[in-house]
Amino acid sequence: MLQGRVRRRVRGTERQCLTTGVVSRRDSASHVSSCETLWTVSSTIEVLTLDADGNAVRAMHDTLRRHNRAFRVTPATNPDAALAILDVRPVQLVVVDLDMPGAGFDFLEELRARWSQIPVLVASGRDSARAAVRALKCGARDYLLRPLDMAELVHSVDEVARTLRNEPEHRKARPIGSISFSDIIGDCEAMREVYEHIATVRNSKIAVFVGGETGTGKELVTRAIHRAGPRASAPFVAINCGAIPEHLQESELFGHEKGAFTGATAARAGRFEQAEGGTLFLDEVGELSAGAQVRLLRVLQDGTFARVGGSEPVHSDVRIVSATHRDLKQMVARGEFREDLYYRLIVYPIQVPPLRERGSDIRRLVAHMIHKFGADVGHPVEGLTPEAFRCIETYAWPGNVRELENVVHRAMLLASGGLITKDCLPANICGEEDEHSASAHPDELGSHPGASKLSLADAEKHAIERALEASGGNVTKAAKRLGIARATIYRKMQRLGVAHPRSAD
């Protein structure tokens, strides 16, 4: 039963390179294993070590990092510290010194009960078949004898890493205590802070504001808050306030009575009533009209509202989460957003980091996207060449995760030979000028005498300014002229520093 489980000697000398930066291939002529520097679907593997022996921990850290830089070792010197780390960090593997006080079989049982998806390796000085069997029954993947043979440790960790590698990235949970964030990809420090914020607010009805640039995944964060809390079985209703014409916003949110306005041939429940008992996500809340802001303030103050055209109060039990890419504080200063509503909405702010600040998460996201779109493209794609990944890694990603998803999907369609090359990527991603990439009407861009020499950002800015000028300062008309949404032109104006026109919109 224990054959192949209790480690006593090095199992062979062949070393396999994991797909984190390199792909191992055996040269058929020389029979020598060589590593090509190709980037393939992979991710950082966070290893938590529970061991009071500082020298042993340092040896494990140095050995694993030398073997593969994908491994990141976090030490814990006692069981309580290990549990605290597991509560807030997305650990993929735990190595436990079974001989440490408090880290015995009961501790293994607790790990299995709370984090059953995390593999556990056990190390012990007890050369006992009975102890090994019991550890395996408590959920351990392997039983290693102390003093540790580092080659054996590497072999065991490699086996776990191969299992993790073969598991679809989007199905790997990022737990905080009993919460799982299986739909959110990333474990950089900034995203861990987001997970901790979610854990803090999940059981309350407190108003949460999710800030961040467009395309960062604000709705995913909001859905995680909903699923992690007591309202998980109730409705989750999302509405993009910027996508609704101002004269229909109040009706859309609060419903209307029959005959309330032309075309209201029947009474209709609004989003608040649809979300009763659950969560209402107000995306782009900065786009709400003055009238809708007043009605929203009342709901936040006393939990009631009236349908448009009605007078009967409707009681609302809804958790409100709002989001926008705009700076609401500046909008308050300009008189564009109610100050009292601002303070009601931003009781607990959560800031989602832009992709350019998420470091190694780009690898995780690309791996997830390659798996996600694999069935769509009609041919296998295993990863990227180093040159292609450098382009992706160094690009600023103004459109964040949404832009990355678009680029990866397109690149997979163009890829041949199983790898995405630099030629599969848009020219602007690789730092090359691409005169066709600007989101501007050809006439607007082409009318500028130096258009072909403008940077992409300058070309966009010039096109928007020309469209605004031609539209008499009307943003809606300028957006139609450029063939983009009204909310999109506002975002671009803010990012590019285009002054908001004085003309009524």
Asked if residue 443 has pLDDT above 50, the reply is no
Cis before 147 (ω within 30): yes
Beta-strand relationship, 314-315 and 304-305: antiparallel
CB of 41 within 8 A of CB of 169? yes
Parse the chain into domains and list their residue ranges.
6-170, 204-351, 355-430, 442-496
Q: 6-170: which CATH number, 3.40.50.2300, 3.10.450.50, 1.10.150.20, 3.40.50.720?
A: 3.40.50.2300
Q: 355-430: which CATH number, 1.10.8.60, 3.40.718.10, 1.10.3720.10, 1.10.630.10?
A: 1.10.8.60
Q: Does domain 442-496 have CATH number 1.20.1280?
A: no
Predicted local confidence at residue 181, as pLDDT = 63
Euclidean distance between CA atoms 268 and 255, whole angstroms: 5
Between 170-174, 454-458, 465-469, the lowest mean confidence (pLDDT) is in 170-174
Confidence category of residue 41, pLDDT binned at 50, 70, 90: very low
Euclidean distance between CA atoms 124 and 455, whole angstroms: 62
Asked if residue 459 has pLDDT above 90, the reply is no
Asked if residue 501 has pLDDT above 80, the reply is no
Comparing CA positions, the residue from 359, 329, 358, 368 lying closest to residue 345 is 329
pTM of the model: 0.55
Percentage of residues in the chain having pLDDT higher than 70: 79
Chain centre distance of CA 295: 32
Q: Does domain 204-351 have CATH number 3.90.1560.10?
A: no
Three-class DSSP category at 399: coil
DSSP secondary structure letter of residue 181? -
Confidence category of residue 432, pLDDT binned at 50, 70, 90: low
| 239 beta partners | 282
Predicted local confidence at residue 398, as pLDDT = 92
Asked if residue 310 has pLDDT above 50, the reply is yes
Tell me the pLDDT tens digit for each residue of 355-371.
999 887 888 888 888 88
Tell me the pLDDT tens digit for each residue of 121-139.
888 888 777 787 788 878 8
Mean pLDDT, residues 374-392 taken together: 84
Beta-strand relationship, 39-40 and 383-384: antiparallel
Three-class DSSP category at 96: strand
Question: What are the backbone angles phi and psi of residue 54, rounded to the nearest 5°?
Answer: -60, -40
Q: Do domains 6-170 and 204-351 have the same CATH topology?
A: yes
Euclidean distance between CA atoms 25 and 175, whole angstroms: 35
Euclidean distance between CA atoms 356 and 371, whole angstroms: 22
Asked if residue 426 has pLDDT above 70, the reply is yes
Predicted local confidence at residue 26, as pLDDT = 31
Asked if residue 441 has pLDDT above 60, the reply is no
Confidence category of residue 447, pLDDT binned at 50, 70, 90: very low
Asked if residue 33 has pLDDT above 60, the reply is no
Euclidean distance between CA atoms 452 and 95, whole angstroms: 58
Q: Where in 427-495 does DSSP place strands (E)?
A: none
Cis before 79 (ω within 30): no
Predicted local confidence at residue 397, as pLDDT = 93
| 26 beta partners | 33
Mean residue pLDDT of the chain comes to: 78
